[in-house]
Amino acid sequence: MQAQYKRRTYYIKNSAQSKFIFRFVLLSILGGAAALAAFNYLAYKKIDSVLYSMRLPNISPGGLLRDEMVYTNAFVIIFILIAFVLTARNLFNKVNGPLKKLTSDILKMADGELHFPVTLRQNDEFRDIADELSTMATSLNQRMQAIQDHTDTIIALAETAHPDSGDTPAKLKETIAALCKATGA
């Protein structure tokens, strides 16, 4: 029977993606609303000043509010760019810290340190990977301990073996078989 593997979300969880998108959209809407309010205010001031001036300016009707439109659109573009940079930086910081921690823990495992759990903070991303790495480290540690125990037994049996003893070779064969099983050989 073949094992059924469930697809897992290892990278950024949907909740983090949703929060990122929500923040960006909310800031964009707020920036648009602020730009609309600023444009209405500036347009009102401009039209009000034109109405009460002694002579009408020599500008086309479309050019009358062009400056106000440019200023408010520039404001919206700058506001949205700043909002995007801030939300992207927040997302980068949320992902970068756990990745650095996982990388350092994997390097420790590669050096042979298998006696520590791989843990991340409660709200960090990649907790599933950290849990599985911790399980892998525990399993490897148990296998290495079993190999060490079998190796120690083989060495002890080899040192105490007497050629006339019939019991030692049987124990030696049994221990070597257990060592082969532990190493997967």
pLDDT tens, position by position, 46-105: 888 877 776 766 777 677 778 888 888 888 888 888 878 888 888 788 788 888 888 888
Query: Are 150 and 180 within 8 A, CB to CB?
Result: no
Question: For residue 67, what are the contacts with CB-CB under 8 A and spacing of at least 6?
Answer: none
pLDDT at 1 over 70: no
Q: Average pLDDT, stretch 113-141?
A: 81
Give me the pLDDT at residue 8, please.
57
**What's this model's pTM, rounded to 2 decimal places?**
0.54
Question: For residue 90, what are the contacts with CB-CB under 8 A and spacing of at least 6?
Answer: 20, 23
- Average pLDDT of the chain is 78
Q: Average pLDDT, stretch 101-113?
A: 86
pLDDT at 141 over 70: yes
Give me the pLDDT at residue 150, please.
79
- Interior/surface letters 5-40, b for 16+ CB within 10 angstroms, e for the rest: eeeeeeeeeeebeeebeebbeebeeebeeebeeebe
Higher pLDDT, 54 or 153: 153
CA distance 3 to 10: 20
Q: Which long-range contacts (CB under 8 A, 24 or more apart) does 27-32 make?
A: 27/79, 27/80, 27/83, 27/87, 28/80, 28/83, 31/75, 31/76, 31/79, 31/80, 31/83, 32/76
The amino acid present at 155, given as its one-letter code, is I
Give me the pLDDT at residue 185, please.
59
Q: How confident is the model at residue 17 (pLDDT cuts 50, 70, 90)?
A: confident
Q: How confident is the model at residue 9 (pLDDT cuts 50, 70, 90)?
A: low
CA distance 170 to 155: 14
